[in-house]
Amino acid sequence: MLDRMTDAEAVEAAGATGAAGAGATEAPGSAGTAGSAEAAGPAGGGSAPRRRAPAGAAVLREDVTQAIRSAVLEELAAVGYARTSIEGVARRAGVGKTAVYRRWRGKLHLVLDIVSALAVEGLPAPDTGSLETDLRLLYEFTSRALRHPVASQIIPDLQAEAARNPEIDEALRKAVRSGQESVALRILAAAVERGELRRGLDEDIALDLITGPLYWRTVILRQPRLPKSHLPTLTRATTAALKSL
Amino acid sequence: MLDRMTDAEAVEAAGATGAAGAGATEAPGSAGTAGSAEAAGPAGGGSAPRRRAPAGAAVLREDVTQAIRSAVLEELAAVGYARTSIEGVARRAGVGKTAVYRRWRGKLHLVLDIVSALAVEGLPAPDTGSLETDLRLLYEFTSRALRHPVASQIIPDLQAEAARNPEIDEALRKAVRSGQESVALRILAAAVERGELRRGLDEDIALDLITGPLYWRTVILRQPRLPKSHLPTLTRATTAALKSL
DNA sequence: TCACGACGGGACGGTTGCGTTGCGACGTGT
DNA sequence: ACACGTCGCAACGCAACCGTCCCGTCGTGA
């Protein structure tokens, strides 16, 4: 699934979310402005630049990091974001709480990290020369992705949480935008270029028409097993709708 | 335990929740309801554990009940289902925890009660003689309903919780089925009768096409302020899609 | 060889919620 | 006048987490 991440990526991501390097000593400092502390890229001068030996072998272990990531996904699916606890994640991952806190500030950063990682997973942009065929391929890919029980459990949960938490909201929108949405836009543009669709069509509504019905069926109604005819029929109807725009 | 209150009674009490006008006229009716409930308590066993006196004036106060109901809605909107606590509800309602526990077994029953009540609020079934006009009216009603911040906060939250809790899931489905869905089906049937739509069209997909795009836009993307042209355009496109089925 | 730091484990004080219980006060049917 | 049950309030013991800290162990690069 998302085990594609390379070592370098994982370490970087971990470092980025969990207070880059030097932060450790400063972290428990006074109230507030913990976030701005990370901004210190170049040595800000001051009294604590002594960067002793980076490390010998005492480096964050990648297998532990991955175990935590997997545990977060499982925990999210099992109990939802609100009830997800660091203790629960650590327990599920078979690691100590400290291992988690060494990498991430807390629950929010942990989840944001993972969501952002999901955003990267690009899906293919079909270009078959036919709007209807392109759409059907997109649907097949999307519906297969949403079929995974973990995804279909986590998505609505984060979605709901996004209404309350701007950071989750942004991460989620970015993920959708970089995935589903950008592909759909490319399909639309190609169809316009071929003359299959009108040139000035309302893109917002077009995206709603493409995304809405399948999302409703798979995520809201949670009916993962669709009859064979479903996607083709849906594709044909959606194509008709788009052409009327 | 709290055998005094049955589930049926809780649901009935929910009926009085009626947002607007209906409540007033229903109020006297609820007296009869209460009476039957009290009679039902001791009558249930038949073994008669000597529950002689229903009560004097020591009866559950309706204003307290309503305060709790309102508080639940506010709490759900503010923090979500998972984080909603009885203590928080009582605090927000300005009542004691005991007042809540005297009426409901716990959080789940409390929420189920309210959700079931919402299901009753029927929305009008337009019948203008034109599929497109009917659809537009349905959309206008629905989008206005979803515009309420309380609703748009609570819905995705309960939706996510439904993936984990079968009882919430059922209540939610029932609410949708008795509302949006039944109206949409009636609109479709009328259009078929008029010959605007094919007779054997796939109802599932038709419902997805009707519901999905607007839900996606208002609940998921949370864009409540739609340009004036939005609903008419969406209606036209959806009509085109339906006619292709 | 040896210092370094991550590892799991366990414990800390503090916070929040659970569901229950007891209290005195209140108001209303019998 | 009386009994009854709800009212708000406060407290109970229990549980789960929070974020931090200290511990002894372990593997590795300098």
3-state secondary structure of A207: helix
| Smallest CA–CA distance from B209 into chain A, residue | A213
Q: What is the CATH number of domain A121-243?
A: 1.10.357.10
pLDDT value for A32 = 28
**In the structure, what pLDDT confidence band is assigned to residue B120 with cuts at 50, 70 and 90?**
low
Q: What is the CATH number of domain B122-243?
A: 1.10.357.10
Alpha carbon of B198 to those of A72, B193, B244, B245: distances in Å? 48, 9, 8, 7
Query: What CA–CA distance (Å, rounded) separates B239 from B141?
Result: 17
Distance from CA of B101 to the nearest CA of A (A): 23
Position B122 pLDDT exceeds 70: no
B57 CA – C25 C1', rounded, Å: 14
Whether the beta carbon of A243 falls within 7 A of nucleic chain D: the reply is no
Task: Write out the residue limits of the CATH 1.10.357.10 domain(s) in chain A.
Answer: 121-243
3-state secondary structure of B85: coil
> Dihedral sign, CA of B226, B229, B230, B231?
positive
Domain range A60-108, CATH class:
mainly alpha
3-state secondary structure of A114: helix
B59 CA – C27 C1', rounded, Å: 10
Which of A103-112, A140-149, B36-45, B217-226 bottoms out in mean pLDDT, i.e. has the lowest?
Answer: B36-45
Whether the beta carbon of A31 falls within 7 A of nucleic chain D: the reply is no
pLDDT tens series, chain A, 245 aa: 333 333 333 333 333 333 333 323 222 322 222 232 232 333 333 333 444 555 566 788 899 999 999 999 999 999 999 999 999 999 999 999 999 999 999 999 999 999 888 876 767 789 999 999 999 999 999 999 898 888 899 999 999 999 999 999 999 999 998 889 999 999 999 999 999 999 999 999 999 999 999 999 999 999 989 999 999 999 999 999 999 99
Chain A residues 70 to 99 whose Cβ lies within 7 Å of strand D are: 85-88, 97-98
Residue bearing the bigger pLDDT, A48 or B176: B176
Distance from CA of B79 to the nearest CA of A (A): 8
pLDDT value for A60 = 85
Question: Residue A208 is nearest to which of B208, B217, B242, comparing CB atoms?
Answer: B217
pLDDT value for A172 = 94
Q: Which of B205, B229, B245 is most worth mutating to test chain A (most A CB atoms within 10 A of its CB)?
A: B205
Helix residue spans in chain B (DSSP H): 7-15, 22-45, 62-79, 86-93, 97-101, 107-120, 131-147, 149-162, 166-176, 182-194, 203-215, 230-243
Do the beta carbons of residue A244 and residue B237 sit within 8 Å? yes
Query: What CA–CA distance (Å, rounded) separates A169 from B184?
Result: 31
| Smallest CA–CA distance from A208 into chain B, residue | B213
Position B37 pLDDT exceeds 60: no
Average pLDDT of the segment spanning B117-131: 83
Average pLDDT of the segment spanning B181-191: 96
Q: Which of B74, B208, B217, B231 is most worth mutating to test chain A (most A CB atoms within 10 A of its CB)?
A: B208
Average pLDDT taken over every residue of chain B: 80
All residues of chain A having their beta carbon less than 8 Å from the beta carbon of residue B211 are: 212-213, 216
Task: Write out the residue limits of the CATH 1.10.10.60 domain(s) in chain A.
Answer: 60-108
Task: Write out the residue limits of the CATH 1.10.10.60 domain(s) in chain B.
Answer: 7-42+57-110
Query: What CA–CA distance (Å, rounded) separates B74 from B174?
Result: 22
Task: Write out the residue limits of the CATH 1.10.357.10 domain(s) in chain B.
Answer: 122-243
Q: Which residues of A touch B (CB under 8 A)?
A: 79-83, 152-153, 156-157, 159-161, 163-164, 202, 204-205, 208-209, 211-217, 220, 222, 229-230, 233-234, 236-245
- Give A75: exposed, middle or buried? Use CB within 10 Å, 0-12, 13-18, 19+: buried
Residue B70: how many other CB atoms lie within 10 Å = 15
pLDDT value for A120 = 66
pLDDT value for B179 = 87
All residues of chain A having their beta carbon less than 8 Å from the beta carbon of residue B204 are: 217, 230
Contacts A–B by Cβ distance under 8 A: 126
Average pLDDT of the segment spanning B72-89: 97
A116 CA – D20 C1', rounded, Å: 28
Whether the beta carbon of A94 falls within 7 A of nucleic chain C: the reply is yes
Whether the beta carbon of B59 falls within 7 A of nucleic chain D: the reply is yes
**In the structure, what pLDDT confidence band is assigned to residue B32 with cuts at 50, 70 and 90?**
very low
**Taking CB atoms and an 8 Å limit, are B159 and A163 in contact across chains?**
no
pLDDT digits (tens, 9 = 90+) for B48-74: 344 445 456 678 889 999 999 999 999
pLDDT value for B34 = 30
Q: Which helix (H) or strand (E) holds A11?
A: helix A7-17
Query: What CA–CA distance (Å, rounded) separates B119 from A54?
Result: 62
- Give B80: exposed, middle or buried? Use CB within 10 Å, 0-12, 13-18, 19+: buried
3-state secondary structure of B229: coil
B7-42+57-110: in CATH 1.10.10.60: yes
pLDDT digits (tens, 9 = 90+) for B129-142: 999 999 999 999 99
Whether the beta carbon of B97 falls within 7 A of nucleic chain D: the reply is yes
Work out the percent of chain B whose per-residue pLDDT is above 90. Answer: 64
Average pLDDT of the segment spanning B215-225: 94
